[in-house]
Amino acid sequence: MASNGVLDARERSATLSRLTAERFDVLVIGGGITGAGAALDAASRGLRVALVEARDLASGTSSRSSKLIHGGLRYLEQFDFKLVYEALHERDLLVSKLAPHLVKPVSFLYPLYKKVVERPYVGAGLALYDAMEGTRRPVPHHRHLTARGALRLAPALSPARLAGAMRYYDAQVDDARYTLTVARTAAAHSAVVATRVSAVSLLRGPDGVRVTGARVRDEETGRSIDVSAEAVVVCAGVWTDLVHELAGVRAGYRVRMSKGVHIVVPRSAVQADTGMIVRTDKSVLFFIPWGERWIVGTTDTDFTGDRAEPGVGAEDVDYILAAANRVLVRPLLRSDVIAVYAGLRPLVEAVGEVNGSKGAKGAKPTTKVSREHVVDVPVPGLASIAGGKFTTYRLMARDVVDAAVADFDREVPSSVTDQLPLLGADGLAAVQAGAGRLAEDYRVPYAVVEHLLSRYGTLAGEVLDLIAADPGLAQPLADGHPYLRAEIVYAVTREDALHVEDVLMRRIRLFIESADSGIGVAAEVALIMGRLLGWSRRRRAAETRRYLDLVAAEQTTPAGASAGGASAGGASAVGASAVGASAVGAGAAVPDAVLAGAAAAG
């Protein structure tokens, strides 16, 4: 064990030196959940591992999901029993053993509208869903409800046509935080984790065929580094085809991108004490409780634009609002929308022989393309994986590492990650039981300890130690949000945050939780980060500006139209609400004020 999983942004040059100096058994390309999982899987088998991520950990799809750890009820309808069975077993393992601090049970109401036919059909599906669980059963079984019972739990539902409901349980997670925690756990098993480092070409051995590493570029300086490894594992999500191209290989599958958009609305906009799932013409719509908010989504449409910025269009938001309003008694308005975000599903389509599980074929609608994963070894020394779900990342990681080490000239132990709690999980119950004492010892409110435990598990004490050393860090970062200034320091010194967006979009989630996307505190975050990373006044202003530009790009339609813009018809699109008003629609006024704050501070 090299370290306790500390990813210190201040030590970045030492991390990069290790990339050049060491020879690795496995080099992982991509720091989403699949790549972080593969790094952990390989490192915990005793292999020497490096992971390079072109942007920030989880900056791709792995921070933009519905944040459910679930079997996927709708896949039962597609007879994808294997996927559902595996996913439910994974869900139970994560909730009960591997990450109980991060993966938490959540209940869903499934309203029924067809009196006679629907209940037996959905009931049978849910009975099967429950029966497929593992033996741990960390979440309760489903229950039948009358229409009156459903309305008691969810007064937001329109009583018209409501025939009853089912209530069942799944689990939810902060996807970006989970990915980060997996990467840190890999680092705790000696993996070298380097962000803002892109693979730009693959190295070949003396035979000109076998892949023996990768040339990578440090995106902060432009410097190139050759990283040697016995095998390279590609976990690049929707970028996978591009990595195959730069490697000059033809894999047995292609990635088909499907865009999914979510909107975020205040909790008060939908009165319900449970999550909800409702049928739509094409798929299902989730109302997912998220602290003081709801995440509502998602869409599922083919996508061919810029992978880094899928963008949210007015039509995406309108689709979600219309689908939601079909079941709500008080309709959701555009002005209810606090935030929007888009992600790209890396679905797989087989184009030939694939060395792994089967791939989905043909030009089906994206809703019908299988969520199973595909592993391929297109040339010796190179294994690649795509498809799958966040929920099944551990199995995906196991499969791709198995493929990568299959031709090693020595025995490599099997995967042990089903036995390996993530950082922050071990001893959680005792730390939770002592939460009151922690609050007294550190002289912070009990709610602060609860908040930290739910994000860092047993590592919460590390954040509290920062507060003990500098009580000013106990101050909340933004009014109405639980995040503390100490968490910014922690993000830089333990969680590898290099830029303001790493903090506001992924370490804490103000980008999706705050009506101003976190713009109002961007300068403050730059100030705290800058003290640690030695940023000048000019650099702080540049970092703040960079964040504002990113927010604008993320919340703008791919065609470039303003998300809050009049082009889509008055107050259309993503709201008259804050997204449009502060980040995109109102243009330069807010950014200038924020930048002035950045320059004045400190």
Ligand X SMILES: Cc1cc2nc3c(=O)[nH]c(=O)nc-3n(C[C@H](O)[C@H](O)[C@H](O)COP(=O)(O)OP(=O)(O)OC[C@H]3O[C@@H](n4cnc5c(N)ncnc54)[C@H](O)[C@@H]3O)c2cc1C
* Binding region for ligand X (CB under 6 A): 29-35, 52-55, 59-62, 64-68, 70, 198-199, 235-239, 243, 260, 298, 343-346, 388-391
Q: In this structure, are strands 164-172 and 104-112 parallel, antiparallel, or unpaired?
A: antiparallel
Nearer to ligand X, 68 or 180 (CB): 68
Give me the least distance between CB of 35 and ligand X, in Å please.
5
HSE-up of 384 (CA within 13 Å, CB side)? 30
Nearer to ligand X, 73 or 486 (CB): 73
Nearer to ligand X, 56 or 516 (CB): 56
HSE-up of 20 (CA within 13 Å, CB side)? 10
Task: Quote the Cα angle for 101-102-103, to 5°.
Answer: 110
Both tokens of 471, joined, read 């009580």
According to DSSP, residue 460 is labeled H
Give me the least distance between CB of 374 and ligand X, in Å please.
12
C-beta separation of 350 from 363 below 8 A? no
Nearer to ligand X, 346 or 520 (CB): 346
Nearer to ligand X, 80 or 516 (CB): 80
- 3-class secondary structure per residue, 193-230: EEECEEEEEEEECCCCCCEEEEEEEECCCCCEEEEEEE
Give me the least distance between CB of 5 and ligand X, in Å please.
19
C-beta separation of 495 from 7 below 8 A? yes
Give me the least distance between CB of 391 and ligand X, in Å please.
4
CA dist 486 → 101, 448, 508, 521 (Å): 19, 11, 12, 14
Nearer to ligand X, 9 or 33 (CB): 33
H or E element, residue 25: strand 23-29
Give me the least distance between CB of 283 and ligand X, in Å please.
11
Nearer to ligand X, 238 or 576 (CB): 238
Both tokens of 525, joined, read 């975050």
Give me the least distance between CB of 392 and ligand X, in Å please.
7
Q: What is the largest CA-CA distance in the chain?
A: 72
Nearer to ligand X, 81 or 408 (CB): 81
C-beta separation of 384 from 252 below 8 A? no
Give me the least distance between CB of 260 and ligand X, in Å please.
2
Nearer to ligand X, 247 or 478 (CB): 247
- CB burial of 304-315 (b: ≥16 within 10 Å; e: otherwise) equals eeebeebbbbbe
Nearer to ligand X, 178 or 547 (CB): 178
**Inter-residue long-range contacts of 482-490, CB under 8 Å, 24+ positions, other chains counted:** 482/291, 482/447, 482/448, 482/451, 483/508, 483/510, 484/448, 485/528, 487/455, 487/463, 488/525, 488/528, 488/529, 489/528, 489/532, 490/456, 490/462, 490/463, 490/466
Nearer to ligand X, 45 or 389 (CB): 389
The backbone torsions φ and ψ at residue 231, rounded to the nearest 5 degrees and listed phi first, read: -145, 145
Give me the least distance between CB of 388 and ligand X, in Å please.
5
Give me the least distance between CB of 193 and ligand X, in Å please.
12
Give me the least distance between CB of 421 and ligand X, in Å please.
20
Burial class (CB in 10 A: 0-12, 13-18, 19+), 149: middle
Q: Which amino acid type is present at position 193?
A: V
Give me the least distance between CB of 444 and ligand X, in Å please.
33
Give me the least distance between CB of 261 and ligand X, in Å please.
7
Nearer to ligand X, 180 or 477 (CB): 180
C-beta separation of 423 from 457 below 8 A? yes
Give me the least distance between CB of 301 and ligand X, in Å please.
10
Neighbours of 432 (CB within 10 A): 18
Distance between CA atoms of 146 and 8, rounded to whole angstroms? 53
Q: What is the DSSP track for 407-454? A: T-SS--PPP-GGG-PPTTTTTHHHHHHTHHHHHHHHT--HHHHHHHHH
Nearer to ligand X, 388 or 457 (CB): 388
Reference 371, options 347, 394, 353; nearest CA is 347
